[in-house]
Amino acid sequence: MGEDNHTILRPGSLFGAYRVLKRLGKGGMGEVYLVEDEAQHRKYAVKVLDPESHGRDPEFLKRFIRESEFAMRVRHPNLVEVYDAGIDPESGICYLTMEYLPGGSLRDLLAQRVEMSFPGVMTIATDIARALLLVERNGMVHRDVKPDNIMFAADGSAKLTDLGISRFSYGSDVAATQANGMVGTPAYMAPEQMLDAHAVDIRADIYSLGIVMYEMITGHRPTEGQNAMRTLAKAIDGQSFPDVRYLRPDTPVYLARLVSEMTLPAVQERPESAWALLGLLSHPERILRAEDLPPPPPPRPPWYRDRGVLYAATAMILATSALLVALVTVFTRD
């Protein structure tokens, strides 16, 4: 991606012991760069927090580093490894050094608009559910499960990254609350997280993963085109998302049911834990019920949703009809 004039680090410059190669991505809290340890000839990904996002608040930085220490202690095949975290003494920038995954992110894959296979969707979801199981067993909630935070290793396995806004269920938040007070990414957030991000459990992450699965299956988020408040209002009213088969009719029934249950507005109706979710992913037949989901109606043609095209087509039909009537009248008179 192209660099702009507002990068925190400058490609080609030194950041501690690393040479900055390029920026990999940018988020609400900071930026991620590809760097190289020139002595060891090894590449890493370094996330640096925008000083404006935390105002150099000592308490913020202390909590961030404390939570990062958890990420450095744990090792799991489906969690991105974190090697170091701290504050650069020269610049005062808070940073996190992680493994570099050249496979890119799920967001990159979705941007290619390639239709994903159903086994592929299940495999990625299973990998992330395994990561969430470790998160849950350590008393944490991730709170920002989204395609941007799902990366691919060289062997194709999916890894969850960015524990930067996770919350210990027995402690205070780390410091990734956005300026509007909302923690997470609204398009993927569970209703209860929009209302109070400090009182959620792993079922909020399960909801977010359900949104990610919906997007993998259909190429679209169920809330696409809606703002967070409209989505929240629908959830409070008990409205579920449309069946994924509206957009992709060949979706297996068990997969449509699973996505539906993961994204139910009522938190108590979703799978109760990451372990329960893994059970459903491993044995999808368990999700089927006697009162199976009714098959959705056939998808509407693309022009149906475009009122302008619909009105133009109607006008053309009326004009053609009027012309035919006029011609019939002329020939009848003759």
Catalytic machinery residues: 144
The answer to whether 267 and 192 are in contact (CB under 8 A) is yes
Angle among Cα 174, 137, 107 to the nearest 5 degrees reads 60
CA distance 174 to 212: 24
Distance in Å from the first CA to the final CA of the chain: 71
> What distances in angstroms separate CA 128 from CA 9, 208, 281, 288, one per listed residue?
30, 11, 11, 22
CA distance 232 to 3: 35
The answer to whether 36 and 43 are in contact (CB under 8 A) is yes
SS3 24: strand
Contacts of 299 (CB under 8 A, 6+ apart): 246, 247, 249
Strand segments, DSSP code E, in the chain are 14-15, 18-26, 30-37, 42-49, 82-87, 94-99, 140-141, 150-152, 158-160, 167-168
The answer to whether 136 and 200 are in contact (CB under 8 A) is no
CA distance 277 to 157: 18
CA distance 85 to 68: 6
CA distance 50 to 94: 8
